[in-house]
Structure 1
Amino acid sequence: MAYMRKMISIDEELCNGCGECVPSCAEGALAIVDGKARLVKEQYCDGLGACLGECPTGALKVIVCEAEDFDPDAVTEHLKAQGREVPDHMPSPESLRLDRRPARPAGGCPGAALRTMTPCERANIPAAMAAGTGQGSGSALSHWPVQLRLVPPTAPFLRGADLLLTADCVPVALPAYHAEYLPGRVVLMGCPKFDNQQEYVDKLAEIIAQNGLRSITVMEMEVPCCSSMSAILSQAIKRAGKAVDARRVVVSLDGRVLRTEPFNA
């Protein structure tokens, strides 16, 4: 069962594969795979960050996310299989949970259940996994759901986030969306033409007011009806009464970024 707790996250761009972090993890949660540090299994990582100081490039950090429980018994078996020393003391799984309840709510539509993609799920897909195959470098999506209508303002992945407010058609038109815009950002999507704009204003205002967002990037198509997304965001920022660093990106129908400009509410 998954819970909200602390977990090591690895920035693949910063990691140089030196391996300094591997021996510093007493639980054996890290390994070098394909020249990069990887989280072997979530259940091996206690999230306490003993390995952070050993990384010369700053590729490691501790994040809060949905993850499997830490499992001392599994760690013991793992270390013995490697011939490594088992720590005298390991924290209990219960002591590491930030939310004592299961992270995924029971009932309702399974497709609408809040989910943060765990570091293990994302880090174990190498950036060059499809090199030479024409398949790209994989998904940069960090959470679920992504539709603005389905995400509550209290979703944990919104806290302190860099928000990517995206009109539905943008990812279809823009080839560079996953590689250049989505990494490190929390995406919320919607159609400003066909969806209820006032509901969007209300929802975004709550999100901005409650979550201390670091930044907002609003992405929309060049067609006139799509520019309503910027108008929605402007109203939401004014209603929230909080200043936030924001920018606007306009995409052409043939998949080019026409302009990137500061956003003034």
Structure 2
Amino acid sequence: MVVRKIVKIDEIRCNGCGSCIPKCAEGALQIINGKARIVSDVYCDGLGACLGHCPQGAITIIEREAEDFNEEAVKHQKKKTEPKIEQQVIFQWPVKLNLVPIKAPFYEKANLLIAADCAAVACGSFRDSLMAGKRPIIGCPKFDDARAYAQKLAEILRQNNITAITIAHMEVPCCSGLKWAVDKALEASGKEIPVRRYEISVSGEINEL
């Protein structure tokens, strides 16, 4: 252990937008539980290439006791993690609510992620924080018919074994139609399915409601 320069992330300021991740060539940063974090001190060279890319000003360089930067460990980590990025796949296609089938094998015991279609664009960590392990269905209640959404979702819930629902919508008022559609669909389906709801701010912050 030596005293050296290393990145520090202010977890209060960090909103998990993920802007810093691609700027760290060493792969020292990852989004974990909705916040950017240093995976290991040995991956951070302390040069601060990520500094100017945090819109929240959550990243600083400090001096503290830490393990030495290890270039060989960085190379090993990259080899280990790169295939995982390639293997991140969508479990079904299509994903638009207007296009998905009412009954399909991919719904079996699924945690259904019903999201506003602009949410993934607004939130850099959307895939890691909200989509992992879920079956995504996206839509826009502002430009589509929320009543039609509710009717189709009701049939999907009625005809398939859905075990959980996650709603992810923007903080803007028009997105409230997504929750309304899910509520109406659950009521019409006659099923009791646990629901978690997340609101995404226009700056990319994820908040559970």
Return the TM-score normalized by structure 1: 0.47
Q: Structure 1 pair 197/157, CA: closer, same or farther in 2 (3 Å)?
A: same
Deviation at 1:137, TM superposition (A): 3.1
SS in 2 for 1:216: strand
Structure 1 segment 1-265 matched on structure 2, within 5 A: 128-129=81-82, 137-138=85-86, 139-257=88-206, 259-261=207-209
The TM-score, its normalising length taken from structure 2, stands at 0.59
Kept in 2: contact 1:140–1:179 (CA 8 A): no
- Report the CA distance shift for 1:254/1:127 in structure 2 as closer, same or farther (over 3 A): farther
Please tell me the residue identity of whatever aligns with 2:190.
G
Superposed CA offset, 1:184-243 (max 9, x none): 100000001001112111110011111121100000000000111001100010000100
Name structure 1 gaps, 5 residues minimum: 1-125, 131-135
Query: What is the rounded CA distance, in whole Å, between the counterparts of 1:148 and 1:127 in structure 2?
Result: 35
Following superposition, the deviation at residue 181 of structure 1 comes to 1.4
Distance between the aligned counterparts of 1:169 and 1:233, measured in 2?
A: 18
Question: Are the structure 2 counterparts of residues 127 and 165 from structure 1 closer, same or farther at C-alpha, using a change threshold of 3 Å?
Answer: farther
- Bigger relative contact order (CA 8 A; separation at least 6): 2
Please give the alpha-carbon distance, in whole angstroms, between the structure 2 residues aligned to 1:208 and 1:141: 20
Percent identity over the alignment is: 38
- C-alpha contact 1:140 1:182 (8 A) present in aligned 2: no
Query: Whole-Å Cα distance in 1 between the matches of residues 80 and 150 of structure 2?
Result: 36
Q: How many aligned residue pairs are there?
A: 130
Shift of 1:140: 3.9
> Structure 2 CA distance, aligned partners of 1:159 and 1:207?
11
* 1:220/1:250 contact within 8 Å kept: yes
CA distance in 2, matches of 1:230, 1:251: 13
The CA RMSD measured in Å over matched residues stands at: 1.8
| Cα distance in 1 for residues equivalent to 2:129 and 2:80 | 13
* Structure 1 counterpart of 2:63: none
